[in-house]
Amino acid sequence: MKPEKLEGKMDKAYGQDLPKSLTYSGEFQVYENIGEVKSANDMPSDEEVVNFRNTQRRNNARQKFMQEALDTAGIKKPTLETSEELRIKNIVDSLVASGKSAEEATTIAKAALGIA
């Protein structure tokens, strides 16, 4: 196996724009040939195995590095407890699903939550 560097930039997280772009980077291991994949007992077919597994590793590493960048920047995933916007959206989605217009649902949601 050989190390491969992965880096990127995030402008959004959890469906919201970030206050500033965050970068992430790190190193992970990729297979160099089918012999390494077979000896690791990590099979499907020759060339596709190497490409498939490296894509999985790259995607997993990207998610890990992005989460690390968010954690380092102190950006937390919004929850119903921490995000007024998420609470409104949750109620609006339910009301729209039951036939209310988006405007009417927003008005009802804000009234129910005591938001002006």
Condensed to tens digits (0 to 9), the pLDDT of residues 55-89 reads 999 999 999 999 999 999 999 999 999 999 999 99
Please give the structure tokens belonging to residue 88.
């409104």
Number of domains in the chain: 2
The HSE-up count of residue 81 (CA atoms within 13 Å, CB side) is 2
In a domain, 79, yes or no: no
Q: Quote the CA–CA distance of 108 and 93 in Å, as a whole number.
A: 12
Quote the mean pLDDT of the chain. 94
Q: Are residues 105 and 50 in the same domain?
A: no
Q: Are residues 58 and 11 in the same domain?
A: yes
Question: What global pTM score does this model have?
Answer: 0.56
Q: Are residues 101 and 55 in the same domain?
A: no
Q: Quote the CA–CA distance of 113 and 21 in Å, as a whole number.
A: 32
Please give the structure tokens belonging to residue 3.
């190390």
Q: Which domain holds residue 108?
A: 84-113
**Which stretch of DSSP H or E encloses residue 27?**
strand 16-30
Q: Are residues 10 and 63 in the same domain?
A: yes
Q: Are residues 89 and 67 in the same domain?
A: no
